[in-house]
Amino acid sequence: MNELSEGQKAPEFTANDQNGKSVSLNNFAGKSIILYFYPKDDTPGCTAEACSFRDNYESLLAEGFEVLGVSTDDEKSHLKFIGKYNLPFSLIADTEKKIVEAYGVWVEKNMYGKKYMGVSRKTFIIDKNGMIRKIIDKVDTKNSSAQVLEILK
């Protein structure tokens, strides 16, 4: 498993968004990106996080950032999640787990003593040159966009 660090080049990826459209990190060359990884569509923490980015989306765009969410859910699940909460940004369907593995967020988790593999909630702020500027390991789901905006100041 890769352990990425700030100052490293962000791993390139290509996968489909909620509309089945192919999206690559290269599509955003010259733009800064908030690439956030979350465990599952339409669960309480993931919904709070997505809605935080939604509610502050204009502020993030004004700072020159695009927002992309990534989970291992499929396109259909993402489309439903976006529709239900009116999310203005794309969600990437990493059903083959290539992106979560490249970013080191596919990890062993433990719930009630049962171990399983899943997505670790983490946010990567990637600059215009494709370099990882900041990694947020401890995401505050209800204030995830405020955390990012605080870092950008």
Catalytic positions: 46
Handedness of CA 24, 25, 29, 30 (dihedral sign): positive
> Rounded distance, CA 93 to CA 1, Å?
20
What letter represents residue 48's amino acid? A
**59: helix, coil or strand?**
helix
DSSP 9: B
Q: Which residues pair with 108 in a beta bridge?
A: 117
Rg, Å, the chain Cα set = 14
